[in-house]
């Protein structure tokens, strides 16, 4: 590869949940960091900008922007949204966000309470109707928020809801001032991958009975209120682990997706869920072959494609794949069981930092977690 | 030589740092600094291996330190000098901080005796202190105050050829100079061998013999082969030619001829072989090539002759040679004694007949390097050149030699001198030739135009039973051959139901050349008081068959990459005509010497690819080659699963080992197809193998869904790197394998026709129209003036690379927003020949659906600003 073409390119566009058609290439960004995870795919991306103009612009309108990062090869290496904008202006630090904490469609979850017998008797958990703020929705898209409270009557619960929506319909803003400080005007944009957009809405699934985990995942994605996820489910493999189809407890879509992934497959093998380009979801069993290799003794220390050694740029290494460490790392005999062979590592998280740093967090993978989750005792309720 | 220059300027205000025009600033000392790698570059290393390796570098800005002296008449004057300089330097910094407030400020430098000046943008500056105004040296006895050792530090960019924002055109070319074809004998009497010892000819023999037979056999054998229909134009330069023969027997080395000699029949229209006298009576070329020490031959294997370019050239250079003619090659004994060799003839049913491989340069097809907006770029790559242009003069199409204007000398008229209604000019591609097919554009270069009181005509194609007008689906920049200069016509054939069909022109007209092909004509409908007829002036009409422009090595000088700017024009759209607007322009730069035969566009067809590229369908799959006129080559691969089907390989592209190294590099890969019948539930995956067997681990794309938009969906298959490690051995070929699956009972049908490999490892850009209105598209205005995309890293130094849509009439920006995805500013590589590859697409419905119709026709102009690390000298 030529030494010339080695810079990532960031393109910022209007929040996909709004009707804007704005887009701009952010050439001045520096100190880029991209994280990819086995659960989620595009996990996060941070970058910095300097200068008064950038600070004002991003602080004012940056939150929720659709962010794409492209490799020099014009391939997308991250897609997400601006979740937190933090600006430093002299001694003043202003933080706006997180975006995912905004709520403009809000309800209250509460328990009925009965005082008729003297002591309060708490009844079933209930939800108020949704309250919506259309002004905020036009600005940021429809973002759910469930406010949970203890026992109260419906009127009180609705009052809580109405107060809450007034407070969360706009992003949180915090400021700290240090009058001694005189830092350069700069802004840091912390972006999240669209896996985290699952935290902005709750599901309401009314189908009864049992269904495949993969079918329920599609239903969860279908419930996204802004229509920003791809409806191309061709990369959602069939996972026949059975789960309850109905889900009316206004749970976050993220929680349900995480639980569905934690179930694994019927063979108790681990599954991975990733958001890829154009917010399409990949849901599949973890791979059984290595994708990458790396030679500990090579001066270049690059990650290469397993088998051919073809170089993989550090910004393109995917999480959710097996990496094989070559060289002279014991054992020297080949093994088909990646779990027991220390030369193989399953990449849970891959973190790239400009210009050339790559940090990989690896793990083993067994069957026990999946089994426990399928028995309903693993901490996740699908 | 001109005077030395060292000045700081914004183009209006100039302050010299050396004595000039009575200024007060003098340069005590300056050692010009050179750019370095940022942070020393990015290195990687292992503690368990020697050394370290540089993996990336970028250039720093450069810090220059000038030791200055100011001498003036009085203190006020010195204050004014320093104020003026500081004001200019503040402006330099303001330029970068603001967006509109200030003009750029730069250094201009030229040494004494140096020919050219150089320029560098100033980013920042500092002057740590002034002289103490209350002591020496400021206070001088004679009253002329002095600032001595006054230090100015500037942070600047690279030295440039021009003032910031300025550029110079780069001559680009769109010429497909090398053509490569294989020609064959096509009948029994096209090849033969004779025994000069026995005066015998053996026309129907299944073998061809040359040399001297072993004892007791025939003596002094010579082979003659007539290769048919060489569509090589008169004047072409033969780059390489050889005959490939198939050994029909095993012969040990000791029995092989020690020497043969190869000549040609010096005749542009040789007939079939008949008698021995006919054979021996043929005049031979002066040029010849010896073929010595033939190795042992193994039955069934092929053997190539030495290069016989000179022999072929001599025949092609004959004054009466015409494209499409036949050519005879002789292979004779050259003193071998009792040794002979045997190859398969046309009559051999076991082995293939001989092949004549020729590579040649054909001038006149395309545009030589120019700064004018005359370099066209297609959205595909093909080999179907125009083969015929004929003028119909009242029912007569040229008689005898010269009837085909492509063989005539330029300039020539495209209509009779006194045209009347129904006179016409025909443009055709002979489809009996290899690598022929339909065409979707013709580029003209008109000197005189069709003019008079009435001078009108219509464009028509043959549709099977009649000539039909195509006005509704074409764009005619020549406006009926009435516009002077270089302009194109673009034709958007509907394809289905079948419209344009091939015909034998003579059979259709009752006169003219008996050539079967795709014919298009311009027919005169009105001709009164004609004052001039259209004249093709500087080059033949041609079909744009390439998706790139070339930049010669001498176009870009400098020490490092030159900043670049490109204007990409839409030439195929017409207001209220074919919907060929463009919303996406993808560009990829590649050094030419990485592979002169590298094609970024591979036809998924059984024709019109480099001879070392073979496209095949898997025998047991639901895929097959098929024909339809609205595909770029007229051929494509039809995937018709008919129902649910598992993931299977459906076709593959084999890059022969001779060519694979030209494909090493990083590419963004796209596949283009047409939904033949509405697609539902079809997915494809591309993988790479080498002929050593097996999918190369990791080099395969995700399964991608095919979409069913109306036009030509562009399937983005992502990025792949082809490296030597994939092949495992340089003797292996490279295979691109497409697998497909169908998940629905009625999946429809897909017609694959193009695989595009945009090189992305040097410079690349993906410019996308993000605005959803008709004015933001790369198209033409209502008057037919092209709108162009300005891909610019020069005009506004504050912008890394910007993509702005502009009107060609005034250069003003158009509404709409195009976003550029590029990792680097646009640049050219210095001092090397390079090729810019293009792919254009149109947004089709949903934002991620792209239509990459092969009929998008563009033209390109480029500009550059060379950059230097130090002095320019006379460069």
Q: Are B575 and B408 in contact (CB under 8 A)?
A: no
Cβ distance A297 to B49 less than 8 Å, yes or no, reads yes
Q: Please state at what angle helix A213-222 crosses helix A253-262, rounded to 10 degrees.
A: 160
Closest Cβ–Cβ partner in B48, B760, B762 for A297: B48
Cα angle vertex B279, ends B273, B281, to 5°? 130
Is the CB of A300 inside 8 Å of chain B's CB atoms?
yes
Top residue of A73, A238, A344 to mutate, by most chain B CBs within 10 Å, is A73
pLDDT at residue number B154: 97
3-state DSSP of A294-325: EECCCCCCCEEECCCCCEECHHHCCCCCEEEE
β-pairing, B200-201 vs B325-333, is unpaired
Question: Which residues, numbered 663 to 682 in chain B, qualify as contacts with chain A under a Cβ-Cβ cut-off of 8 Å?
Answer: 665-668
Is the CB of A308 inside 8 Å of chain B's CB atoms?
yes
Residue A377, pLDDT above cutoff 70? no
Q: Which of B704, B718, B703 is nearest to B669 (CA)?
A: B718
Cβ distance B697 to A3 less than 8 Å, yes or no, reads no
Neighbour tally for B184: CB within 10 Å: 18
Set of chain B residues whose Cβ sits within 8 Å of the Cβ of A278:
848
Between chain A and chain B, the number of residue pairs with CB atoms below 8 A apart is 167
Strands (E), A120-270: 121-127, 131-132, 144-151, 173-177, 183-193, 210-212, 242-244
Task: Give the number of residues written for chain A.
Answer: 382
pLDDT at residue number B517: 94
Using pLDDT thresholds of 50, 70 and 90, give the confidence band for residue A3: very low
List helix spans (H) across B457-522. 505-509
Set of chain A residues whose Cβ sits within 8 Å of the Cβ of B55:
300, 302, 356
Closest Cβ–Cβ partner in A3, A8, A296 for B46: A296
Top residue of B823, B841, B846 to mutate, by most chain A CBs within 10 Å, is B823
List helix spans (H) across A209-327. 213-222, 253-262
Cα angle vertex A77, ends A75, A81, to 5°? 120
Top residue of B56, B98, B665 to mutate, by most chain A CBs within 10 Å, is B56
Strands (E), B371-450: 376-378, 388-392, 412-413, 424-430, 441-446
Q: Which of B495, B431, B421, B491 is nearest to B463 (CA)?
A: B495
Is the CB of A305 inside 8 Å of chain B's CB atoms?
yes
Mean pLDDT of all residues in A101-113: 92
Set of chain B residues whose Cβ sits within 8 Å of the Cβ of A13:
770, 819
Mean pLDDT of all residues in A99-117: 89
Cβ distance B819 to A13 less than 8 Å, yes or no, reads yes
pLDDT at residue number B804: 92
pLDDT at residue number A5: 53
Low pLDDT (below 70) residues in chain B: 1, 22, 99-101, 177-180, 214-218, 362-364, 398-402, 692-698, 728-730, 845-848
Q: Are A232 and A276 in contact (CB under 8 A)?
A: no
Set of chain A residues whose Cβ sits within 8 Å of the Cβ of B561:
4
Is the CB of B48 inside 8 Å of chain A's CB atoms?
yes
Is the CB of B783 inside 8 Å of chain A's CB atoms?
no
Neighbour tally for A85: CB within 10 Å: 28
Q: Which of B667, B663, B650 is nearest to B719 (CA)?
A: B667
Cβ distance B800 to A27 less than 8 Å, yes or no, reads yes
Is the CB of A52 inside 8 Å of chain B's CB atoms?
yes
Distance CA B588, CA A72 (A): 10
Set of chain A residues whose Cβ sits within 8 Å of the Cβ of B763:
4-5
Higher pLDDT, A165 or B728: A165
Distance CA A378, CA A374 (A): 8
Top residue of A72, A297, A315 to mutate, by most chain B CBs within 10 Å, is A72
In angstroms, the separation between the Cα of residue A314 and the nearest Cα of chain B is 11
Q: Are B102 and B91 in contact (CB under 8 A)?
A: yes
Cβ distance B761 to A21 less than 8 Å, yes or no, reads no
Residue A60, pLDDT above cutoff 70? yes
3-state DSSP of B643-705: CCEEEEEEEEEEECHHHHHHHCEEEEEEEEEEEEECCCCEEEEEEEEECCCCEEEEEECCCEE
Distance CA B473, CA B475 (A): 7
DSSP readout, B138-205? TS-TTS--EEEEEEEEEEE--EESSSTT--EEE-EEEE--EEEEEE---SGGGEEEEETTTTEE-TT-
Phi/psi at A255 (5° precision): -60, -45
Question: Which residues, numbered 412 to 431 in chain B, qualify as contacts with chain A under a Cβ-Cβ cut-off of 8 Å?
Answer: none
Top residue of B724, B764, B821, B834 to mutate, by most chain A CBs within 10 Å, is B821
In angstroms, the separation between the Cα of residue A345 and the nearest Cα of chain B is 16
Q: What is the pLDDT of residues A311-325, one digit of tens each?
A: 888 898 999 998 888
Non-local CB neighbours of B399 within 8 Å, separated by 6+ positions: none
| B797, two tokens | 């130094």
Higher pLDDT, B551 or A376: B551
Is the CB of A368 inside 8 Å of chain B's CB atoms?
no
Provide the 3-class DSSP secondary structure of residue B750.
strand
Question: Which residues, numbered 14 to 43 in chain A, qualify as contacts with chain B under a Cβ-Cβ cut-off of 8 Å?
Answer: 21-25, 27-28
H/E segment holding residue B224: strand B221-230
Distance CA B758, CA B666 (A): 8
Set of chain B residues whose Cβ sits within 8 Å of the Cβ of A310:
696, 698-699, 721-723, 725-726
pLDDT at residue number B673: 95
pLDDT at residue number B402: 39
Q: Are B393 and B428 in contact (CB under 8 A)?
A: no
pTM summary value: 0.81
Q: Which of A11-20, A189-198, B190-199 has the highest mean pLDDT?
A: A189-198
Distance CA A171, CA A103 (A): 9
Distance CA A21, CA B461 (A): 42
pLDDT at residue number B579: 85
Set of chain B residues whose Cβ sits within 8 Å of the Cβ of A22:
770, 817
Question: Which residues, numbered 258 to 297 in chain A, qualify as contacts with chain B under a Cβ-Cβ cut-off of 8 Å?
Answer: 276, 278, 282, 289-292, 296-297
In angstroms, the separation between the Cα of residue A6 and the nearest Cα of chain B is 7
In angstroms, the separation between the Cα of residue A286 and the nearest Cα of chain B is 15
pLDDT at residue number B698: 63
Higher pLDDT, B76 or A308: B76
Neighbour tally for B52: CB within 10 Å: 13
pLDDT at residue number B705: 82
Using pLDDT thresholds of 50, 70 and 90, give the confidence band for residue A352: very high
What average pLDDT does the structure give for chain B?
89
Cβ distance B743 to A234 less than 8 Å, yes or no, reads yes
Is the CB of B55 inside 8 Å of chain A's CB atoms?
yes
In angstroms, the separation between the Cα of residue B727 and the nearest Cα of chain A is 8
Our CA dihedral for A33, A37, A40, A43, rounded to 10 degrees, sits at -10
């Amino acid at each position: 590869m030529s030494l010339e073409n080695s810079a990532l390119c960031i393109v910022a566009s209007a929040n996909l949940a709004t009707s804007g058609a704005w887009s701009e290439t952010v050439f001045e960004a520096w100190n880029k960091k991209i994280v990819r995870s086995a659960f989620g795919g595009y996990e996060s991306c941070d970058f910095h900008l300097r200068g008064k103009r950038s600070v004002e612009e991003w602080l004012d309108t940056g939150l929720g922007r659709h962010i794409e990062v492209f490799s020099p090869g014009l391939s997308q290496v991250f897609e997400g949204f601006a979740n937190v904008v933090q600006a430093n202006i002299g001694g003043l630090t202003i933080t706006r966000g997180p975006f995912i904490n905004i709520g403009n469609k809000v309800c209250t979850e509460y328990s009925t309470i009965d005082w008729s017998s003297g002591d309060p008797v708490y009844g079933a958990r209930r939800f108020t109707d949704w309250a919506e703020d259309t002004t905020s929705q036009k600005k940021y898209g429809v973002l759910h928020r469930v406010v949970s409270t203890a026992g109260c009557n419906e009127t009180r619960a609705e009052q809580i809801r109405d107060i809450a929506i007034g407070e969360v319909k706009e992003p949180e803003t915090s400021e700290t001032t240090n009058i001694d400080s005189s830092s350069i005007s700069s802004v840091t944009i912390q972006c999240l991958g669209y896996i985290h957009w699952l935290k902005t809405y709750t599901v309401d699934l009314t189908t009864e009975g049992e269904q495949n985990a993969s079918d329920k995942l599609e239903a969860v994605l279908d419930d996204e209120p802004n229509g920003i996820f791809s409806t191309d489910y061709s990369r959602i493999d069939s996972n026949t682990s059975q789960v309850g189809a109905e889900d009316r407890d206004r749970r976050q879509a993220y929680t349900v997706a995480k639980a569905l992934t934690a179930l694994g497959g019927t063979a108790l093998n681990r599954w991975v869920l990733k958001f890829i380009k154009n917010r399409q979801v990949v849901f599949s069993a973890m791979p059984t072959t290595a994708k990458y290799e790396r030679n500990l003794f090579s001066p270049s220390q690059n990650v290469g494609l397993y088998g051919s050694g073809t170089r993989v740029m550090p910004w393109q290494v995917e999480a959710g794949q097996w990496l094989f460490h070559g060289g002279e790392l014991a054992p020297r005999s080949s093994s088909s069981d990646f779990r027991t062979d220390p030369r193989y590592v399953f990449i849970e998280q891959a973190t790239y930092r400009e210009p050339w740093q790559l940090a990989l967090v690896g793990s083993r993978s067994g069957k026990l977690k999946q089994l426990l989750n399928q028995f309903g005792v693993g901490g996740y309720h699908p | 030589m001109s005077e030395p220059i060292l000045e700081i300027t914004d183009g209006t205000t100039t302050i010299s740092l050396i004595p000039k025009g009575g200024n007060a600033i003098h340069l005590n000392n300056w050692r010009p600094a050179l750019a370095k790698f940022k942070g020393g570059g990015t290195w990687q290393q292992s503690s368990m291996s020697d050394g370290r390796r540089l993996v990336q570098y970028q250039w720093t800005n450069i810090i220059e330190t000038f030791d200055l002296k100011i001498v003036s008449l009085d203190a006020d004057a010195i204050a004014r000098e320093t104020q003026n300089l500081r004001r200019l330097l503040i402006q330099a910094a303001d330029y970068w901080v603001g967006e509109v407030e200030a003009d750029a400020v730069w250094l201009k430098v030229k040494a004494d005796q140096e020919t050219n000046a150089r320029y560098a943008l100033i980013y920042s500056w500092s002057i740590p202190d002034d002289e103490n105004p209350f002591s020496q040296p400021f206070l001088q006895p004679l009253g002329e105050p002095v600032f001595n050792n006054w230090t100015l530090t500037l942070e600047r960019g690279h030295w440039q050829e021009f003032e910031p924002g300025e550029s110079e055109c780069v001559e680009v070319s769109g010429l497909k100079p090398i053509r490569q074809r294989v020609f064959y004998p096509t009948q029994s009497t096209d090849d033969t061998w004779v025994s000069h010892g026995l005066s015998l000819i053996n026309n129907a023999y299944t073998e061809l013999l040359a040399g001297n037979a072993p004892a007791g056999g025939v003596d002094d054998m010579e082979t003659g082969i007539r290769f048919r229909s060489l569509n090589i134009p008169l004047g072409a330069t033969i780059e390489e030619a050889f005959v490939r023969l198939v050994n029909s027997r095993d012969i040990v080395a000791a029995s092989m001829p020690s020497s043969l000699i190869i000549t040609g029949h010096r005749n542009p229209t040789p007939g079939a072989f008949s008698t021995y006298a006919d054979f021996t009576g043929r005049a031979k070329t002066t040029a010849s090539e010896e073929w010595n020490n033939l190795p042992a031959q193994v039955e069934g294997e092929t053997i190539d002759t030495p290069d016989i370019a000179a022999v072929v050239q001599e025949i092609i250079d004959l004054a009466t040679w015409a494209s499409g003619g036949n050519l005879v090659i002789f292979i004779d004994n050259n003193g071998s004694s009792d040794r002979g060799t045997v190859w398969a003839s046309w009559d051999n049913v076991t082995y293939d007949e001989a092949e004549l491989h020729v590579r040649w340069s054909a001038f006149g097809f395309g545009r030589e390097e120019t700064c004018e907006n005359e370099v066209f770029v297609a959205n595909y790559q093909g080999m179907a050149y125009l083969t015929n242009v004929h003028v119909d003069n009242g029912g007569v199409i040229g008689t005898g030699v010269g009837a085909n204007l492509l063989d005539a000398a330029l300039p020539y008229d495209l209509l009779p001198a006194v045209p009347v209604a129904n006179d016409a000019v025909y443009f055709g591609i002979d489809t009996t030739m290899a690598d022929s097919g339909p065409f979707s554009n013709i580029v003209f270069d008109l000197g005189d135009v069709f003019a008079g009181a009435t001078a009108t005509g219509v464009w028509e194609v043959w549709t099977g039973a009649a000539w039909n007008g195509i006005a509704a689906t074409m764009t005619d920049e020549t406006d009926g051959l009435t516009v002077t200069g270089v302009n194109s016509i673009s034709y958007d054939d509907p394809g289905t139901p079948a419209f344009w069909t091939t015909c034998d022109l003579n059979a259709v007209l009752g006169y003219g050349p008996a050539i079967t092909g795709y014919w298009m004509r311009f027919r005169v409908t009105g001709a009164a008081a004609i004052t001039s007829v259209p004249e093709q002036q500087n080059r033949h009409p041609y079909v744009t068959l390439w998706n790139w422009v070339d930049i010669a090595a001498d176009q870009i000088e400098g020490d490092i990459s030159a900043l670049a700017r490109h204007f990409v024009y839409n030439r195929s759209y017409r207001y209220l005509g074919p919907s060929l607007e463009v919303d996406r322009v993808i560009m990829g730069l590649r050094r030419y010497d990485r592979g002169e035969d590298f094609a970024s566009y591979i036809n998924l067809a059984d024709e019109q690819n480099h001879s070392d590229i073979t496209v095949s369908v898997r025998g047991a799959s639901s895929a097959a080659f098929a024909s339809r006129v609205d595909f770029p080559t007229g051929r494509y691969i039809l995937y018709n699963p008919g129902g649910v089907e598992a993931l299977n390989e459906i076709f593959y592209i084999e890059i022969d080992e001779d060519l694979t190294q030209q494909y090493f590099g990083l590419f963004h890969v796209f596949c283009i197809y047409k939904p033949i019948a509405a697609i539902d539930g079809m997915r494809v995956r591309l993988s790479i193998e080498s002929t050593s067997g097996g999918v190369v681990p990791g080099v395969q794309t995700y399964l991608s869904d095919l979409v069913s938009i109306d036009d030509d969906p562009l399937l983005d298959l992502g990025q792949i790197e082809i490296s030597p490690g994939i092949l495992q051995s340089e003797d292996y070929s490279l295979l691109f394998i497409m697998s497909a699956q169908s998940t629905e009972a009625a999946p429809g049908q897909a017609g694959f026709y193009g695989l595009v490999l945009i090189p992305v490892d040097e410079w690349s850009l993906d410019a996308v129209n993000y605005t959803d209105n008709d004015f933001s598209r790369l198209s033409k205005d209502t008057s037919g003036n092209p709108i162009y995309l300005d891909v610019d890293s020069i005009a506004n130094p504050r912008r890394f690379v910007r993509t702005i849509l502009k009107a060609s009439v005034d250069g003003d920006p158009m509404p709409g927003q195009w976003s550029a995805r590029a990792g680097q500013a646009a640049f050219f590589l210095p001092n090397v020949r390079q090729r810019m590859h293009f792919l254009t697409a149109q947004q089709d419905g949903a934002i991620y659906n792209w239509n990459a119709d092969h009929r998008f026709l563009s033209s390109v102009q480029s500009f550059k600003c060379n950059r230097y690390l130090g002095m320019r000298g006379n460069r």
